[in-house]
Structure 1
């Protein structure tokens, strides 16, 4: 995504501050390669994230993680955002500074949109503007990246605390939390080629039964369900955003044949791939 940021104050391949989405090129589906914090100052915009539509109005805080699928559908004429984007490497570096990062990630993946009241919006907007000012005043500072990273960490904590209960800073991550986070990373990377729980369990050095128990404990869904839902999401994106025929999509996702893919897709989505492709926005 950082390649789209032409009207941004950018620290190359690291962090960007954006005040316009016109240059993002989001009229089509984009698999985001950055983490994004977006605060809507005025106006409104409709966006799709992982094919679910959200309506963002003034006062909204919207969070996007790397590898999610994003498209902007329409914005009002007065739409004005302030936005921070971090490269995947940068957010990986920052997220380890949070003691309960698994719960943090899961919370905002499930609920990426938070509508703030005026007091909370004004507080958060002031922090966004402060970080924006730091971009402008640290260009010649030899420690610019370190300064910005520390202010960004503070802003991330503020985003968490302003919309939810504070996260304790002395929490020790359980083995289950660590394993589940590693599992999700592997699914994002390998879901097109590998559909079995055994593959991911082998990569983690545990049994498939234990991996499913960990996923169930952390999220209420077993490991196979997480794998299948990620494959189904990828299939939806391929069907909606490309001219490839269904057989080609089936091959990309490593199904043995188009019939098997069709049965899988209907079980997960509720309609056939052909029927889904015909659906309109």
Structure 2
């Protein structure tokens, strides 16, 4: 279906994509981790979809709406045979035009922390109508006015943000340990391409490396190094599968001193070399 070509069109000059996925296209496109190039909204009308958004695993179910922001890593593990998703995506240029941060600052943190929220059936119908309007515009083929598309993007964002602000999804309080882990992940997302030292992140959090390590292990059952490596490996996998960068270029982009060190690091966490991963499917 058209969407298979279009969803990667965040790299093209089209302002938006809009389709109904009835055949598992999303799962085929994101069957390995990829960095989202634009902003993607999913509306689930039936079935289920198991997905990882950044480092967190989620299950998308009927009446869920999903907001996947730019620079987020996405990996679809499974779509049920009856899964039906409405998909609307907007490219980076359009997002820059609306100043995404200022436009969503009141609920941006909620969108990052909780990308999937359940809707009441009647609210699902309202979003479905809005998505269908964009899908019909897309299928007409005529290039729509950019200001109109920007307005529609803001309408969806504000609609989702309003739901966040009026439900318990944004009112959860974090204890001290959970807050440390939450902030750690935010810092890792920002700095992982340059920094993999526990001490670096402990310094940003104004706590000792030992305190950070103990807290993270208690809350997540993982080490700080594991969490850093998860994002580094996810990025490496995405670049190996979805770009033509050489393995050496990928190694340098992730701040490895040489291709040998990168290869050993990659194999330690995946069980195969970067070359084997790239050639495997």
> CA distance change for structure 1 residues 221 and 2 in 2, over 3 Å: closer, same or farther?
same
Q: Check the 8 A contact 1:41/1:82 in 2, yes or no.
A: no
CA distance in 2, matches of 1:168, 1:80: 25
Q: Which residue in the other structure is 1:81 paired with?
A: 86
Structure 1 residue 232 displacement after superposition: 0.6
Structure 1 residue 190 displacement after superposition: 1.3
CA distance in 1, matches of 2:42, 2:50: 13
What do the CA deviations read for 1:98-150 (whole angstroms, capped 9, x no partner)? 5xx89x54xx6xxx6x9x8xxx77334134258779x9xxx9xxxx9999776
Q: Which residue in the other structure is 1:13 paired with?
A: none
Note the 1:51-90 alignment, pairs <5 A.
Answer: 61-70=65-74, 81=86, 83=88, 89=101, 90=103
Structure 1 residue 157 displacement after superposition: 6.3
**Runs of 5+ in structure 2 lacking a partner?**
1-8, 22-27, 135-146
CA distance in 2, matches of 1:239, 1:58: 33
Q: Check the 8 A contact 1:48/1:70 in 2, yes or no.
A: yes
> CA distance change for structure 1 residues 201 and 274 in 2, over 3 Å: closer, same or farther?
same
Q: Which residue in the other structure is 1:253 paired with?
A: 254
CA distance in 2, matches of 1:274, 1:34: 28
In the alignment, does 2:106 pair up with 1:93?
Answer: yes
CA distance in 2, matches of 1:91, 1:202: 29
TM-score by length of 2: 0.60
Relative to its length, the structure with more helix (as a share) is 2
CA distance in 2, matches of 1:39, 1:6: 21
In the alignment, does 2:217 pair up with 1:216?
Answer: yes
Residue correspondences, number: 239
With CA pairs under 8 Å and 6+ residues apart, which has the higher RCO, 1 or 2? 2
In the alignment, does 2:278 pair up with 1:274?
Answer: no
Q: For residue 93 of structure 1, give the secondary structure of its aligned residue in structure 2.
A: coil
CA distance in 2, matches of 1:126, 1:270: 45
Structure 1 residue 152 displacement after superposition: 3.0
CA distance in 2, matches of 1:146, 1:229: 32
> CA distance change for structure 1 residues 217 and 268 in 2, over 3 Å: closer, same or farther?
same
**Runs of 5+ in structure 1 lacking a partner?**
9-17
> CA distance change for structure 1 residues 3 and 254 in 2, over 3 Å: closer, same or farther?
closer
- Over the residues paired in the alignment, what is the CA RMSD in angstroms? 5.0
> CA distance change for structure 1 residues 5 and 182 in 2, over 3 Å: closer, same or farther?
farther
Note the 1:20-31 alignment, pairs <5 A.
Answer: 20=19, 31=35
Q: Check the 8 A contact 2:199/2:209 in 1, yes or no.
A: yes
TM-score by length of 1: 0.60
